[in-house]
Structure 1
Amino acid sequence: MASPLSSSTVVSHRIFFLNPSPLNRKFLFVKPKSPFNRTNSGDFRMQCSKNGTKELIHSCNSSIDSKLNPFEAGSKNLEKLVATILIFVQVWSPLPLLGLDSAYISPAEAVLYSPDTKVPRTGELALRRAIPANPSMKIIQASLEDISYLLRIPQRKPYGTMESNVKKALKVAIDDKDKILASIPADLKDKGSELYATLIDGKGGLQALKTSIKKQDPDKVSLGLAASLDTVADLELLQASGLSFLLPQQYLNYPRLAGRGTVEITIEKGDGSTFSAAAGGDQRKSATIQIVIDGYSAPLTAGNFAKLVTSGAYDGAKLNTVNQAVITEDGSGKVESVSVPLEVMPSGQFEPLYRTPLSVQDGELPVLPLSVYGAVAMAHSETSDEYSSPYQFFFYLYDKRNSGLGGLSFDEGQFSVFGYTTAGKDILGQIKTGDIIKSAKLIEGQDRLILPAQNNNNINSST
C-alpha cells in the first residue's frame, strides 16, 4: 500500500529547510549596522560572520592595539564586549535585532518563518479564493476577508478600518454593477440579479454589515461578515461557468470536473463501536461527512475522483489512520482506474502545474493548501511521485504543532489536493483503522463531470 505522506522519508529530507537550527540562519548575520560608526568594527564583524561563531568569539577577545591610550583601549574593549554580547543574543534568540536590513531575508525564509503567512486556514476560505471570478468580485472579497483578520485583534478592535473596508466593497459593487452582472451567463442572470441585490441591501448584505460595525458588536459583525462572504461566493460561482484555462492536449483523455462538486461519504465503525454523539444527539453507528471537490484548481484529480465515486469504487472500502491522515485501502483491481499526473495550482498562476511539486522553501504556495484540517488529497502512485495513486485518497488531519514555523505542513505542495471536508469534520478525528466507507455519492456536480469517450486503455497509452 502506498503511504500518502511517506513521513519518514519526507521529513528527513525537508526538516533542514523548515526547522533549521539558529546557527544556520545566515540572514541573521547579514549587514549588521554597527552602533559605533567605525570602519574597522564594521569590517571586523562581517569577517566574523563569515568565519563562524567560534572564530568570532576568539577574534573578539584578541589583544588591543598597543598604541591606544588607556581611555581609547577601554572604549575599544567596551565596543567589542557589546558586539560579542549582541552576537550571542542573535545566535540564541529567534528574534532579529534592530538595525538588520530585512531586504536581505530570502523569500524562502520569509515564508517559512513568518507567523503571518497568509495561507487559508479553513476549507471554506480556500475554496472561496479558488473561484476564478470577475476581478471586481475579487476586490470585494479581499476587502471583506481583511475584516476577518481585524476581528481577531483582542481588546480594542479597529472598527474604523473595518468600516472603510465595507465602504470600499460597497463602492466597487455599485460602480461595477454592470461588469459584475455581465460576467454571469444569460440563463443565470435572474439568479445573479437577486444575489447582487442581497449583497447590497439584504439582511446579510454590505449595508447591514456596515451598521453592525458602527454598533461595534463583534458577534454581529462576525455573523454579518460570514453572510456577506457567502453571498460573494455564490455570485462568483455563477460567474465561473467552467474552467478558466485550457488543459494540455496530452491530458484531454482523462475525466475532468469543470467546476465544483459535492461528495457525501457515510462511514461505519468496523469494530461495532459508535461515533461520539453530536451536541444533544445520540451515539451513532455510522456518520456522514461531506467534501467539496474543486475542479477549478484540480480538474483532472477532482474529475477522476468523481468518476470513481459514481462507479462505486469506494463503497465498502476500509480506512487506515496513518501520519496525521485517514487513507483508504489500496483498491487496485476493484474498478478500472488510472494514475492522474500530480496536479497543483500555484497561487498567482492561471493554470495548474503537472508532474511538478511546489518548492515551498522558495516561496511557492498552492491555491488549495494541504495545511488545512480536513483537506482531501490523492496519495502518490507507488511507482512515481509525479503521479497520484489511481485509487487511494486521504483526509489530512492538519496539526499546527507538527508543522513548520510558518504554520505549513512539511508536505505542503507535494500532493494533489482537490477538496475539503465542509461538514462532519468532527468525525475525522474519531475514525480508526478498520472503519469502513459504507457509501460514497456524488450529490452535486454531475453535470460538470466530463467523461471522454476514450477508454482507460487509451489514457494509459497517452501517459
Structure 2
Amino acid sequence: MRLKISQFLLAFLIIGALTLGGCSTQQVASNSPTSAATSPATEATTNTTTEATSVSETTSESVPGMTDLPRLEGNATVVITVKGSPITIAVDGANAPITAGNFVDLVQKGVYDGLAFHRVVRDPQPFVVQGGDPQSKDPKVPANRLGTGSYIDPKTGNARYIPLEITPKGANTPTYNKPFDATAQPVLLPHKLGAVAMARSQQPDSASSQFYFALADLAFLDGSYAVFGYVTQGQDVVNKIQQGDRIDSAKVTQGAENLKTPG
C-alpha cells in the first residue's frame, strides 16, 4: 500500500528536489529581488478583478533585462529522446513567453543533448524528475555538485537567468519576479501530471537551464515555479527515467519560427 505523503513533507521535498536547481552556487542575476521566496506570495489579493488588473500592468518590457532574453511568440513542440524513446512536449509561449523561449533556445543550441537527470523523486509518492544541469555532461563531475549548474552564455561568459514568470487566469500578461498566490487566483499553467517547469534556487529569478517533469498533480507548486509546457506523448517514458539516465537528444520539431532572439 502506497504511503500518503503530507503537505509538510511535500514542501520539504521541494526544497531538496527543486530549489537546489538553477544557481545555488552562482551569483543571482542583478534584477533578482533581494528577498528569497520558496512559497507563493502571501500578499496577493483575493479579489480576482483587482489582481488581474495589477498583473496586466506588469509587462515584460517593464522588467529590467527582459529585452535581452529569447521569447517564444506562440507555441512549439520539443521532442526529448531518452534511452531511444521519445517524450513529446507542447511548449506554451503564449502564456509563458520568456520561460518557453529560454527552453526552446537552449534546445536549439543543443545544450540539453547528453545531459543527465540528476534527481528523481518517486518515493514515498511520485514527485519529479529533474535534469538540465550543464555540468552533468561531464561524467567526472561529482554527483553532489549536480543541481547547482546554470547555462553559461558563450558570448558573454555569464550565466543566463530568467525571471519567475506566472500567468494567472484572467490576466492579459504574466506577472514576474515573485511567487504568486495561486490559492487566491488559479494560474493558467498548473502543475498537472506531465507538467514541465523550471527549477530554481530560493531566489525567484534564478532559473536558468534546469527543468523538471511533474510525476503527479502538484498543485501546491503553482505560483512558485514556472510551468512552460506539458508532456503530450511519452509520459510512460518519463515514468521510467532513473537517476543518471541521459538525454540522447532534444529537438524542436514544430514552431521554431516562433522563437525570437535578441539582436
Task: State whether residues 368 and 417 of structure 1, in contact with CA within 8 Å, keep that contact through their aligned partners in structure 2.
Answer: yes
Is the strand fraction higher in 1 or 2? 2
Counterpart position of 1:260:
75
Could you give the per-residue CA deviations for residues 302-338 of structure 1, whole angstroms, max 9, x where no partner exists? 0011110011100000013136111115214765251
Counterpart position of 1:328:
131
Which has the greater radius of gyration?
1
Per-residue deviation, 1:395: 0.5
Partner residue of 1:422 out of 225, 232, 236: 232
Counterpart position of 1:385:
203
Summarize the Cα distance change of 1:247–1:255 in structure 2 as closer, same or farther, 3 Å threshold. Answer: same
Q: Do residues 398 (structure 1) and 216 (structure 2) align?
A: yes
- Give the distance between the partners of 2:234 and 2:180, measured in 1 at CA: 30
Counterpart position of 1:277:
none
Per-residue deviation, 1:262: 0.4
Percent sequence identity over aligned pairs:
36
Per-residue deviation, 1:387: 1.2
After TM superposition, list the pairs within 5 Å mapping 1:191-202 onto structure 2.
none
After TM superposition, list the pairs within 5 Å mapping 1:77-88 onto structure 2.
none
- Give the distance between the partners of 2:255 and 2:211, measured in 1 at CA: 19
Counterpart position of 1:441:
251
Could you give the per-residue CA deviations for residues 419-439 of structure 1, whole angstroms, max 9, x where no partner exists? 000111111111110111000
- Give the distance between the partners of 2:150 and 2:187, measured in 1 at CA: 32
Counterpart position of 1:373:
193
Counterpart position of 1:248:
61
Task: State whether residues 167 and 188 of structure 2, in contact with CA within 8 Å, keep that contact through their aligned partners in structure 1.
Answer: yes
Per-residue deviation, 1:416: 0.8
- Give the distance between the partners of 2:244 and 2:250, measured in 1 at CA: 17
TM-score by length of 2: 0.66
Q: Do residues 288 (structure 1) and 55 (structure 2) align?
A: no
Q: Do residues 409 (structure 1) and 219 (structure 2) align?
A: yes
Could you give the per-residue CA deviations for residues 111-144 of structure 1, whole angstroms, max 9, x where no partner exists? xxxxxxxxxxxxxxxxxxxxxxxxxxxxxxxxxx
- In structure 1, stretches of 5+ residues that fail to align are 18-106, 109-244, 269-285, 400-407, 454-463
3-state SS of 1:389 partner:
coil
Task: State whether residues 259 and 294 of structure 1, in contact with CA within 8 Å, keep that contact through their aligned partners in structure 2.
Answer: yes
3-state SS of 1:429 partner:
helix
What is the root-mean-square deviation of aligned Cα atoms in Å? 2.8
Task: State whether residues 150 and 209 of structure 2, in contact with CA within 8 Å, keep that contact through their aligned partners in structure 1.
Answer: no
Summarize the Cα distance change of 1:366–1:4 in structure 2 as closer, same or farther, 3 Å threshold. Answer: farther
Paired letter, 1:395: F
Paired letter, 1:450: K
Higher RCO structure (Cα 8 Å, ≥6 apart): 2
Per-residue deviation, 1:443: 1.0
Per-residue deviation, 1:341: 0.3
Q: Do residues 312 (structure 1) and 133 (structure 2) align?
A: no
Task: State whether residues 342 and 355 of structure 1, in contact with CA within 8 Å, keep that contact through their aligned partners in structure 2.
Answer: yes
Per-residue deviation, 1:412: 1.8
After TM superposition, list the pairs within 5 Å mapping 1:167-186 onto structure 2.
none
Counterpart position of 2:137:
none
TM-score by length of 1: 0.39
Paired letter, 2:129: V
3-state SS of 1:252 partner:
helix
